[in-house]
């Protein structure tokens, strides 16, 4: 028995399984605690009902894949909280698993990959988006899957996954600039077959949209012109700008890292779209550390930096160019990049701790690691809906 326990503990995926089981348990504990529609569930669950009843969608501004996953949940589990939120939980969990494998492919050690995965899994905004029936959670597993396939030089498959990510929500197309930036700055031998990813991402998005829309409408009528459908989506999403949208939580992307801007989805139990305190505090330093690591030829540092630039920096540019309305939860696809940077920093502190024989600096390094990990877990417990502390009232958030 002792040998079996030892082998289990030493199994590479032991801590990944612990993290996945723990997060799944947290999700299923709270999945039924709110029987009302939370924030934008009012749009997407109601649209799923409309699709089931009328074979039409009221949300023409969004591509079909995310909407169909909510429809599938309702078809399987019924029109109830489990039906609405089952596939968000599945996709959120899949993102965690794929993130671990991406970290390993980026030459991060098992320990560093486990730290990064722990940070992502127990980050409040990441957990929250996987707890509600909104579209954002559906893009992330395809985005991370595209990254993993790209790193394995499977460019056609990577392009298809980029297309699927965008079919879940248009913001999923941000996977493309991430991969392109990494390809440009990578010190590894560049393959010009990389451009197959760009071609197949567009092809997958256009061609797969037709059968997915067919599953909604049950008719090929008006599906013959996918370019018109794309134009409609872009026109409708582009029409929602800072000039014509009134909402208390409107904010520019750069504000998310400068000032803390929680957004109340639901008051009690509190579903608060807020980056965990620990990630918010370390976001900018972690980007600086990834620059340092990338300069020292760290593949993880370079990719994490490309991930941050291709999502967050591109969002900032698009915000200026298009003036499109944005909200704090749009930071969701960026969190993984920050987790990589923080994990690299903590891993280097642990390496320093093990390398030093004695001294105050040795224990200072270890204390910093423990403090950050504990602070991260406490941040999660305070912000997440698991513990009924009315955080929204404490900090004066209005819904």
Please state the three-class secondary structure of 199-259 as a single string.
Answer: HHHHHHHHHHHHHHHHHHHCCCCCCCCHHHHHHHHHHHHHCCECCCCCCCCCCCCCHHHHC
Residue in 105, 98, 158 with CA at minimum distance from that of residue 126:
98
CA 162 from chain centre, in angstroms, equals 14
Cα–Cα distance, 220 to 233 (Å, whole number):
18
Place of tokens 């370079």: 302
First to last CA, the chain: 53
Each residue's pLDDT tens digit, 109-156 = 999 999 999 999 999 999 999 999 999 999 999 999 999 999 999 999
3-state secondary structure of 135: coil
Tens-digit pLDDT string for the chain (399 aa): 777 777 777 888 999 999 999 999 999 999 999 999 998 999 999 999 999 999 999 888 899 999 999 999 999 999 999 999 999 999 999 999 999 999 999 999 999 999 999 999 999 999 999 999 999 999 999 999 999 999 999 999 999 999 999 999 999 999 999 999 999 998 777 777 888 889 999 999 999 999 999 999 887 766 667 888 888 888 988 888 999 988 888 999 999 999 988 888 887 788 889 999 999 999 999 999 999 999 999 999 999 999 999 999 999 999 999 999 999 999 999 999 999 999 999 999 999 888 887 878 888 899 999 999 999 999 999 999 988 766 545 555 444
What are 294's two structure tokens? 């990338």
* DSSP letters for 91-122: HHHHHHHHHHHHHHHTT--HHHHHHHHHHHHT
Domain ranges of the chain: 34-395
Residue in 30, 63, 49, 91 with CA at minimum distance from that of residue 265:
30
* CB-CB contact of 183 with 176 (8 Å): no
Cα–Cα distance, 141 to 143 (Å, whole number):
5
pTM: 0.93
- Cβ-count burial 95-127 (b if 16+ within 10 Å, e if not): bbbbbbbbbbbbebebebbbbbbbbbbbbbbbb
């Amino acid at each position: 028995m002792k040998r079996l326990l030892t082998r289990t503990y030493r199994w590479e995926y032991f801590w990944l399984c612990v993290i996945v089981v723990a997060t799944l348990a947290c999700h299923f504990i709270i999945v039924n605690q709110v029987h009302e529609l939370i924030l934008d569930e009012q749009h997407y669950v109601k649209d799923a009902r409309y699709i089931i009843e009328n074979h039409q969608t009221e949300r023409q501004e969004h591509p079909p894949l995310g909407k169909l996953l909510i429809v599938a949940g309702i078809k399987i589990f019924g029109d109830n909280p489990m039906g609405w939120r089952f596939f968000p939980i599945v996709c959120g969990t899949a993102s965690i698993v794929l993130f671990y494998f991406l970290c390993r492919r980026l030459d991060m050690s098992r320990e560093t990959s486990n730290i990064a995965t722990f940070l992502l899994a127990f980050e409040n905004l990441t957990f929250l988006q996987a707890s509600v029936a909104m579209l954002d959670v559906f893009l992330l597993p395809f985005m991370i899957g595209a990254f993993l396939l790209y790193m394995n030089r499977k460019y056609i498959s990577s392009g298809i996954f980029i297309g699927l990510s965008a079919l879940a929500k248009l913001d999923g197309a941000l996977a493309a600039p991430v991969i392109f930036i990494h390809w440009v700055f990578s010190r590894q031998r560049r393959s010009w077959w990389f451009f197959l990813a760009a071609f197949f991402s567009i092809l997958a998005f256009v061609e797969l949209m037709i059968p997915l829309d067919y599953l909604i409408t049950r008719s090929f009528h008006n599906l013959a012109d996918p370019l018109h459908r794309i134009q409609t989506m872009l026109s409708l999403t582009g029409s929602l700008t800072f000039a014509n949208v009134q909402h208390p939580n409107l904010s520019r992307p750069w504000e998310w890292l400068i000032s803390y801007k929680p957004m109340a989805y639901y008051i009690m139990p509190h579903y608060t779209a807020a980056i965990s305190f620990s990630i918010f505090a370390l976001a900018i330093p972690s980007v600086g550390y990834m620059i340092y690591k990338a300069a020292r030829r760290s593949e993880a540092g370079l990719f994490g930096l490309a991930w941050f630039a291709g999502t967050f920096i591109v969002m900032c540019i698009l915000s200026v160019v298009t003036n499109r309305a944005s909200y704090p939860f749009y930071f969701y696809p960026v969190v993984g990049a920050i987790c990589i940077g923080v994990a690299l920093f903590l891993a280097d502190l642990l390496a320093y701790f093990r390398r030093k024989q004695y001294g105050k600096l040795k224990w200072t390094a270890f204390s910093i690691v423990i403090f950050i990990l504990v602070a991260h877990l406490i941040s999660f417990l305070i912000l997440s809906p698991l513990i009924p502390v009315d955080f929204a009232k404490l900090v004066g958030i209005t819904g």
